[in-house]
Amino acid sequence: MSENKPASECDGNCKGCASANSCTDPKKTGSGLPPKVEMDVKHVILVLSGKGGVGKSTVATNLAMSLANKGYKTGIADVDIHGPNIPKMLGIEDEKLTSMDGKKIDPVMVMGNLGVVSMAFLLPDTSSPVIWRGAMKNTAIKQFLEDVNWGSLDFLVVDLPPGTGDEALSVVQMAPNISGAVIVTTPQDVAVLDSSKSVKFIEKLDVKVLGIIENMSGLICPHCGEKVDLFGSGGGEKAAKELNVPYLGAIPLDPDMRKAGDEGKPFIVRRDGTEQNKVTWQHVDDVMENILKEIKED
C-alpha cells in the first residue's frame, strides 16, 4: 500500500505516493497524472455517494442554492455524465450551453450568483443516453472545469455519479482548491456499507471528508405527526463514528422535497408554513450550516 512521502523524499514516482493527486511539486512533471486546471475558485466541494438513489443530487442542489442565498458566488458542475439531474431539479432543463466570446462556455444562470454546467444541456432531448468510455468523460469533465466562464467563484459544488470510478478520480486530480467531500447515504445497512467505501476512497486521495449526511432519515406522517423509520435510522451517524469523520446531520424523507425536485424548485427556498415543512427545512438548513462549519474550521 502506498504511503505519503515528505517533500524532501520526493523522487517523482507519483505512482508510489498517496499524495500525488494534490501534489504541486515540480518533480511531478511527466508523471502522467493530469495537472490541476486553472480556475478562480476558493472552495470546491464534492458531493458523492457509494450507491445511487440516496438523494445525492438533491443534497448538491440544495447546498448550492443555500450558498447562493447567503450571497456567495456559486457554481454547480454536474459531472454525472450518464445521469445528469441537476438541470431538472433547478427547473432549467430546457436551457442550452452557449458561448458569448466563442472561446469559453457560459454557464446557465439560475440566479445572479448561481451558474450551472451539465451534460443535460448538450443532449438533443432528455431521453438521449450518453454512451461514452472513460477518456471522453474525462475530457468533458476537464472542459466543465477549465473551459467554462465561471468568473470568480466562492464555491463550486461538484455533483458526482455514484461510486468511486473515473469521474470522481478525474475531478480530484484536476480540480483546484478542493475543500472536501460530502458523503450522502440513507440509513439502511446496504447504503451505509457503500458510503463507507466512499469515505475511504476520498481519504486515499488525500482529500478531507467534510462529513456524512443521512438522507431519507425517517418519514414524518403528515396526518398524525409520528415518525416512521422506513429505511431504519442512525446508520449514517454510526458510520461517521466508526470511520472517525464528522456527522453532518439527518434529512427526513419528505414528500414535499421529492415534489420540489420534480418541479425544479429546490426545497431550500420553499417555505409553506406547515409544521412538517418547518421541521424538514430546519434539518436541511442545519446540515448546510454544518458543511460550512467544517470548511471554515479547516
Known binding residue 102? Answer is no
Known binding residue 57? Answer is yes
Cell numbers 470548511 correspond to 295
Q: Name, in order, each residue with C-beta under 8 angstroms of 223's C-beta and a sequence gap of 6 or more.
A: none
7 burial level (CB within 10 Å; 0-12, 13-18, 19+): exposed
Known binding residue 238? Answer is no
Known binding residue 115? Answer is no
Question: How far is the first Cα of the chain from the last one, in angstroms, to the nearest whole number?
Answer: 27
Known binding residue 264? Answer is no
Known binding residue 53? Answer is yes
Question: What is the rounded distance in angstroms from the CA atom of residue 117 to the CA atom of residue 167?
Answer: 15
Known binding residue 52? Answer is yes
Question: What is the rounded distance in angstroms from the CA atom of residue 6 to the CA atom of residue 17?
Answer: 10
Cell numbers 438533491 correspond to 58
Known binding residue 50? Answer is yes
Q: Look at residues 110, 109, 132, 104 and name the one whose alpha carbon lies nearest to residue 119.
A: 132
Q: C-alpha grid cell for residue 41? A: 475558485
Q: What are the C-alpha distances in Å from 225 to residues 39, 116, 277?
A: 47, 37, 12
188 burial level (CB within 10 Å; 0-12, 13-18, 19+): middle
Q: What are the C-alpha distances in Å from 120 to residues 96, 115, 270?
A: 8, 14, 25
Q: Give the residue ranges of the annotated binding site.
A: 50-57
Known binding positions for ATP: 50-57
